[in-house]
Amino acid sequence: MITHKTIALIAHDARKSDMIQWVIFNAETLLKNKLVCTGTTGGLIEKALAEIVGADFESNVTKMLSGPMGGDAQIAAMVVEEKIDLCVFLIDDLTANPHEADIQMLLRQCRLHNIPVAINRHSADLMITSSLWGTKYAPTDPTYKKFKR
C-alpha cells in the first residue's frame, strides 16, 4: 500500500463527482499520504474525508489555487521540485478549458520528471495499489536521445 507519499489530486468540474467517489473508495490509503489539490477539488476532498473520519479528522489536504487561477501551474512547480510522487488528474475531455496551457504544462512536467499520472479511476486504482510502493524499487531516469537501429 502506498504510504508517506505526496499525491496530487486534480479534477475538472465535470469529473469532480468521479474524484470524490474515488477518494471515498480509497480513503484508507489516501489518509496515509499527503494530498495536494487544486482549490475547489481540495475543498470537496477534505469534506469527504472529514465525513468518513469524523470529529478526529486532521486534514492531510493542502489546497492550491483553483486550476484556472494557477493551481495546475503550482502543482507543476511542485513536480519540478520533486515534491510530488503521484498525480491523479481526472480531465474533462468534453469541455474546452481556458487554462489548457497550464494543464498541458503539468502533464508535460510529470512526463519529464517521471511522475506517474493517472487520468481515470481505473489507472488511479492500479497505481495506488501497486506492489512496488514501499519497496526498494527505483524508476530509471528517462533517456532523451535519438534511437539508433
**Which residues are identified as catalytic?**
72
134/61 Cα distance (integer angstroms): 21
Q: Are 27 and 60 in contact (CB under 8 A)?
A: no
Three-class secondary structure of residue 42 per DSSP: helix
37/51 Cα distance (integer angstroms): 18
Q: Are 63 and 72 in contact (CB under 8 A)?
A: no
